[in-house]
Structure 1
Amino acid sequence: MTFFLTLTVHSIAAQSVSTTPRPKVILISLDGATPDFVEQYLAKGVLSPKQGLGLIKNKGVYAERNITCSASLTAACHVAIATGSTAARNDINSNTFHLVASPFTSNISGFGAPIGGYSTTEPTESLEPTAEPLWIGLQQNGKKVVAATFPGADGVNVQVPGLTNSPIIQAANKRTVSYTVPFGAFAGVGAQGFSLTAADFSPATSQTVSQLKAARKFSYSPIKQASLSDRFTVGGVSYNIQVAALDTTKDRQTNYDTLVFFDATIGIQPGPFSLPSTGAAYVRARDNKSSLFYLEGSSNRAGTAFYVSNLAADLSTVRIARYSANFIPTNSAVQNSVNDILNNVGFWAPQADFRITEKLSPGFTNFPDTELEAIYEDQVELFVDYQTRVATRAINQNPDADLVMVYIEQPDGSEHQFLLTDSRQATDPTNPNTIGAGQDSEKVARYQSYVQTAYEAADNAVQRLINVVGTDKKGKPKSNIIVVSDHGFSSFHTAVNLNNFLRSRGFDLNKVRAVTSGPAANIYINLQGREPNGIVSPVEYVTLQQQIVTSLKEFVDTNPNYALGGLQAIFDKIYPRPLPDNLNDPTFGLGTSEFVGQDTGDVFAIMNDGYNFDGTQSPVITRLGDTDNLVFSVPNFYGAHGYDPTISKLSAIFYAAGPDISRRGSIGTIYNINVAPTINDLLGVASAPTVQGQIINLKKGRFSN
């Protein structure tokens, strides 16, 4: 896609002569980036060897494989990167899981869970956490750390879900750095589509006409106005969205080409505006670009955006997307950093929203697929640009930082949505016959281009951050820049309902419950004395755990349209929680192992490639050749991660270049838990005793990896 070329990329040859300090280490995480795709795009010239990832590879080192955490999920693997310890050790094992100190039906997000565990006895904050983020040790040693939306650095006090008056089990100061920008949050109003015709428009009110004139906006045809019937409340303020149609082309024809979105209460203000305010949103349809809209007066300082996917010149067909409302979570620990971003970068921009593409949000049912895809691509561009500007602001405000940690959400979102690479994937999720020879080849090609666009966007973000710190006479970045990802990616063809499977095997879901993320499952047993109001005795626990393991081992797919050879085991890895010999042992139900942490399920299991717990549609779409849809079904998206991290395509990326990185070329295979100790080494600080990873050799003539 060419629209990313509109983002300015400064000449690589331009050399900075400034003596301004610059960060010593910048860690950039590109969510879901895989070595295979990066190398493929570099080889084809899609990504330039002279900018972004190509520049860092040519001026430094790269790993052929970066084996990530188990399961290969975003929250777990980012915390593994930040702590230098495995998911079982740092106690963040999934994107969503259950704290055993919580009531049995309560879950917690892995992005907001206690890093390094907690004491389950009361519960309370652990005095001896099993892992700690590297920013804790760095700050204790006088180093300055900056985090721009990096998972785990959010400044929140972590509490136990489901417990009334829950104590704090991890204090905000463990999750706060010198300049902390938390990842944004949903403001309570989801995206919505609107379809209008000329009958919905009438002559604009005199107030609207005068306000547009004051804003120096003119129309060569009579201004028209319509109500979207879009009323919602965000941050304690109610909004009523109106739209005006303008004809800005002086061609002596009625040719409406621009829509103006505004709140009926505030109207169209002339500006100028100071961020985060935006005034009305002006969208020219042919630009294929959304316009931001700040929700003026909202207590959470939220905003949205509008996109016009179809605008007939005579208003006979008008299709509009209003994106979801989002904001940056704020508390006293992060207030100054968040205010700086709001006032200099703007409100939290809308992210790529799968609910639009999958027609889950209301109003999009009659939108053609190509329009929905264009909406998604606009959001990719919008949000990557926003995250990059947040990171740029963080660096410029903290040029003396020792470590800057940056998170970029792409290409993960686009790979989830568009990784259509397997003949067993239905190109029409509502039609199980569209696999194999029935696939839509044009859609397959279109989706490949969208994945490529996501990598171009992520690569562009890397280059823009290189531009901030500059390069030396040899083109090497003046800061040590390390670019990683949390995991790789795979395609999948089948959605699996695990709780339906457990029911079919006779399990009581009051006693046994599965919490899934992607293809990974934590299956918990409601143990007496561990969960509040637990109902399963230790004796029964032993029986149930073994029955779960046996059932998962016996779980197979026999549909030859999907199971190669006609028989495919659903689960690849199955790890039961270790148990003491004595059922009365106080540690019963809290045992850990290499793959089982304190809050991992009593059985932790990862499915084989091609199967995923997510993506089940409503109503369920039965797969081709199946006789029922209780367990297996056709999913409504295409890419997944969370599989065994040793699978090649689940490998993460690692590229590094800078003044203290003297090695060149391949460094072979590394592990993502090696990143934290390597950063500590670059900054001259000893790693915490909890770190399991090893220092990566980035210097000539030094010890090998």
Structure 2
Amino acid sequence: MGLRVPFSCSLASLKHFIPIVIVTFGLTFIFHSFAATPAVNKPHPKIVLISLDGATPPLLDRYFATGVLDKRKGLGFLQSQGLVAKQNQTITPSLTAPAHIAIGTGSTAARNDINANSFHLVASPFKQNISGFAAPIGGYSVGIDGPLDDHTQTAESLWIALRNNGKKVVAATFPGADGLDIKIPGLADSPIVQPASDRTVDYTVPFGAFGGVGARGFSFTAADFSDAASEIIQQLTTAGRSSFSPVKVTTLETIPASGSGSLTGGGGSYNLQVAAIDTSNDKAVNYDTLIIFDADRGIQPRASQPPATGSAYLKASDRTSSLFYFEGSTNKVGTSFYVTQLASDLSQVRLARYSANYIPRNQAVLADVDDANNNVGFWVPQPDFRIPERISSGFDDFPDLELEAIYQDQVRTFVDYQTRIALRAIARNSDADLVLTYIEQPDGSGHQFLITDPRQATDFRDPNSIANNQDREKIERYQKYLRSAYRAANTAVQQIIKAVGTNKRGRPNSNIIVVSDHGFAPFHTAVSLNNYLSSLGFDNTKVRAITSGPAVNIYINLQGREPDGTVSKAEYVTLQQQLVNALAKFTDTNPNYTAGSKSVAIFDKIYARPIPNDPSDRNFGLDTGEFIGQDSGDVFAIMRLGYNFDGTQTPVVQRLGDPASETPLLSVPNFYGAHGYDPELPEMSAIFYAAGPDIGTGTIKRVRNIDIAPTILRILGVQPAPTVEGDPVNLGRA
């Protein structure tokens, strides 16, 4: 747990610059005092907590040391004006949903009952899953010890205690604050097991949702285009546009009003077309701009009032996407378009439509959602791994560089959008006690571009592209993309610092705390656990594995627990031990991947749900432990570094040196970075930066993500809930 020694002396009364070094057990603080200055009168939040998903200390240290990141801005500024932790230990498992709920509750996954990004509630039918981002925080009664809605939670979001004590809380896309009523999936007439009131704060903007239409690539030649009709030319003129070559038009796609391929909460069908125009008055045919429009509405000028956008205008030389709002959509759905190739004679045209998205219009937070839509805009598409991995349709003939350009555009535009959501939340609530905000990068880029291991295939379709056959140019490109993601995230922090302002001593007016949820590590092998369990004869009606990254919850369909349970208690005991044994003996013997060892155990940690000595114990199948929560698997396990359940390709690409198989257990993955491993590993360390009126300066050896909530509560003078497991970080005084 680590020893927390209280800081016993105040520096506020010192009038001269005096460096002080205090060494405690496991903690080192270096503080500086400054002459007191008058407080700034401009309103600003007391605390702003920013989560940069997947940011890691080693990469940040390297980027600051090499000048990739400016030490005067963002995290560099916070480091110079406040505290930085050498290590911020995340939780088991080091996954996004569990780690963020741990940050928000001060409790581990086994206590807060959010044990993975996707898992099974044992009160659900056996085949049902739930998202870790929309599951009951702190658990619920499974109906054995009382009604489903009669339950004392084992963890509590910190905003509940704050609001109960009259504090004002704002959440801008922070996990767990979404205004949802949570029910049991698959259970008929399920009661609400966590009400929206527990997931709603004073200003709540939920994270966005998929709008029902996935990304798609389009390829055209000049033969696909025809001369535009006179009404389209008139629409173009009315929109204030002109072309120095004949306007050309082709059909893009039709998005139906209902059924497969339709928008979630759309406003009818959308007949999308693309017009090509020449804006260069050079007396030559030189098409340089594409306009995406709905044929039923015609070409529209750019709209200035969100969420409307008008038609999407794409100038090839701009190398940026253009937003497109689906007019009339009840969910306020939108997308973006990006042109990757536009030959001046239209002989080769490639463009991408990103996925459709919207902010969930949960009734409890509808006013805040509308505020975001009307002032910032609809939820813009986030970085989409399905495009560079060619999972989405239409991208097979796009060169790698074009797909990478698309992803980089999504990184830039989505971080900018999330930042503007946060700035809107702060502007609307400058008197907030706590602002919680979340930035998706650099996580997405870490998954996509982290090639640092010679065992990683730089061409995921070619198992030979490892070791000396790796593409060094591609590795360098990927390192550049990762640096760009960190710059984008750091810029977001800087913009928030600028919004709250600084005092005469140059420190932020608000206490700004920046953390990440986990670190990152490269992986080289995708693992099919279902193939492995099937090869050993496990019955998938009795045993089911749900994976998240390198972590897995394996459930046994226990009678009396799952509504459709079929496994007796006696068989449960046997199956659980068989599963533990099976995972323990799962090894990799391919010398191309075992780093000189004859055999490498694939699983690093294996935990079994405790079993009561008395089979008639009413808690049979419900007992918990340090790493097993109420809705964890009956066996929970984490793989060692280098292996990941995600990334299996269709069709499977077998690794170099593995025996041919129709159902391979191990294969070449189609992306490169992962998290979810043992949180004790240095690769999984998160970040911690803090500066502000209530924060000293210096270095902390180690904090934990479960310490963030009690630290915030202490600053605001609110007693933590009894369920909080973390300890306040000793911040000193500025």
The two structures share one fold, judged by TM-score above 0.5: yes
Q: 1:615 corresponds to which residue?
A: 647
Report the Cα offset of residue 499 of structure 1. 1.0
For 1:530, the aligned partner's letter is: R
How do 1:623-638 and structure 2 match up within 5 A? 623-627=655-659, 628=661, 629-638=663-672
For 1:694, the aligned partner's letter is: D
Identity %: 63
Q: 1:370 corresponds to which residue?
A: 401
For 2:286, the aligned partner's letter is: N
Q: 2:163 corresponds to which residue?
A: 139
Q: 2:98 aligns with which of 54, 70, 76?
A: 76
Report the Cα offset of residue 249 of structure 1. 1.2
Q: 1:509 corresponds to which residue?
A: 540
Q: How high is the TM-score relative to the length of structure 2?
A: 0.92
Q: 1:473 corresponds to which residue?
A: 504
Deviates more, 1:17-26 or 1:85-94: 17-26
For 2:716, the aligned partner's letter is: L
Quick one: distance in 1 between partners of 2:717 and 2:131?
Answer: 33
Report the Cα offset of residue 126 of structure 1. 4.6
Contact 1:61–1:666 (CA under 8 A) maintained in structure 2:
yes
Report the Cα offset of residue 123 of structure 1. 5.4
Residue 387 in 1 paired to residue 411 in 2? no
Contact 1:16–1:470 (CA under 8 A) maintained in structure 2:
no
Quick one: distance in 1 between partners of 2:632 and 2:93?
Answer: 11
Q: 1:669 corresponds to which residue?
A: 702
Report the Cα offset of residue 231 of structure 1. 3.0
Contact 2:542–2:567 (CA under 8 A) maintained in structure 1:
yes
Report the Cα offset of residue 272 of structure 1. 4.6
Report the Cα offset of residue 202 of structure 1. 1.0
Report the Cα offset of residue 643 of structure 1. 0.2
For 1:40, the aligned partner's letter is: R
Q: 2:201 corresponds to which residue?
A: 177
Quick one: distance in 2 between partners of 1:229 and 1:607?
Answer: 43
Quick one: distance in 2 between partners of 1:431 and 1:470?
Answer: 51
Quick one: distance in 2 between partners of 1:365 and 1:271?
Answer: 31
Q: 1:699 corresponds to which residue?
A: 732
Q: Secondary structure at the match of 2:554?
A: strand
**Structure 1 residues 620 and 271: CA distance shift in structure 2, 3 A:** closer
Q: 1:127 corresponds to which residue?
A: 151
Quick one: distance in 1 between partners of 2:304 and 2:393?
Answer: 31
Contact 1:16–1:471 (CA under 8 A) maintained in structure 2:
no
Quick one: distance in 2 between partners of 1:566 and 1:330?
Answer: 54
For 2:714, the aligned partner's letter is: D
Q: 2:186 corresponds to which residue?
A: 162
Contact 1:478–1:658 (CA under 8 A) maintained in structure 2:
yes
Q: 2:685 corresponds to which residue?
A: 651
How do 1:260-409 and structure 2 match up within 5 A? 260-270=291-301, 272-409=303-440
Quick one: distance in 1 between partners of 2:154 and 2:668?
Answer: 40
Q: Secondary structure at the match of 1:377?
A: helix
Quick one: distance in 1 between partners of 2:77 and 2:245?
Answer: 51
Quick one: distance in 2 between partners of 1:50 and 1:406?
Answer: 22
Q: 1:114 aligns with which of 116, 130, 136?
A: 136
Quick one: distance in 1 between partners of 2:56 and 2:542?
Answer: 39
Quick one: distance in 2 between partners of 1:214 and 1:407?
Answer: 41
Report the Cα offset of residue 212 of structure 1. 0.9
Contact 2:254–2:269 (CA under 8 A) maintained in structure 1:
no
Q: 2:612 corresponds to which residue?
A: 580
Report the Cα offset of residue 271 of structure 1. 5.7
Report the Cα offset of residue 318 of structure 1. 0.2
Deviation string 1:438-463 (CA, Å, 9 cap, x unpaired) is 11110011001111110000000000
Quick one: distance in 1 between partners of 2:497 and 2:43?
Answer: 14
Structure 2: gaps (5+ residues): 1-36, 257-261
**Structure 1 residues 18 and 291: CA distance shift in structure 2, 3 A:** farther
How many residues are matched? 686
For 1:216, the aligned partner's letter is: G
Quick one: distance in 2 between partners of 1:226 and 1:347?
Answer: 27
Residue 194 in 1 paired to residue 215 in 2? no
Report the Cα offset of residue 566 of structure 1. 2.6
Deviation string 1:605-647 (CA, Å, 9 cap, x unpaired) is 0000000000000000110000135210100000100000110
Contact 2:546–2:553 (CA under 8 A) maintained in structure 1:
yes
Report the Cα offset of residue 125 of structure 1. 2.9
Quick one: distance in 2 between partners of 1:280 and 1:465?
Answer: 31
Deviates more, 1:124-133 or 1:554-563: 124-133
For 1:695, the aligned partner's letter is: P
Q: 1:23 corresponds to which residue?
A: 45
**Structure 1 residues 336 and 16: CA distance shift in structure 2, 3 A:** farther
Deviation string 1:297-330 (CA, Å, 9 cap, x unpaired) is 0111100010000000110000000000000101
Contact 1:101–1:123 (CA under 8 A) maintained in structure 2:
no
Report the Cα offset of residue 164 of structure 1. 1.7
Residue 594 in 1 paired to residue 626 in 2? yes
Q: 1:10 corresponds to which residue?
A: none
**Structure 1 residues 373 and 382: CA distance shift in structure 2, 3 A:** same
Deviates more, 1:622-631 or 1:459-468: 622-631
**Structure 1 residues 568 and 252: CA distance shift in structure 2, 3 A:** same
Q: 1:225 corresponds to which residue?
A: 249
Q: Secondary structure at the match of 1:524?
A: strand
**Structure 1 residues 295 and 271: CA distance shift in structure 2, 3 A:** same
Q: 1:445 corresponds to which residue?
A: 476
**Structure 1 residues 99 and 272: CA distance shift in structure 2, 3 A:** closer
Q: 1:50 corresponds to which residue?
A: 72
Quick one: distance in 1 between partners of 2:302 and 2:312?
Answer: 12
Structure 1: gaps (5+ residues): 1-14
Q: 1:246 aligns with which of 277, 283, 295?
A: 277
Quick one: distance in 1 between partners of 2:285 and 2:649?
Answer: 43
Report the Cα offset of residue 218 of structure 1. 1.1
Quick one: distance in 2 between partners of 1:81 and 1:520?
Answer: 19
Q: Secondary structure at the match of 2:479?
A: helix
Q: 1:5 corresponds to which residue?
A: none
Report the Cα offset of residue 17 of structure 1. 10
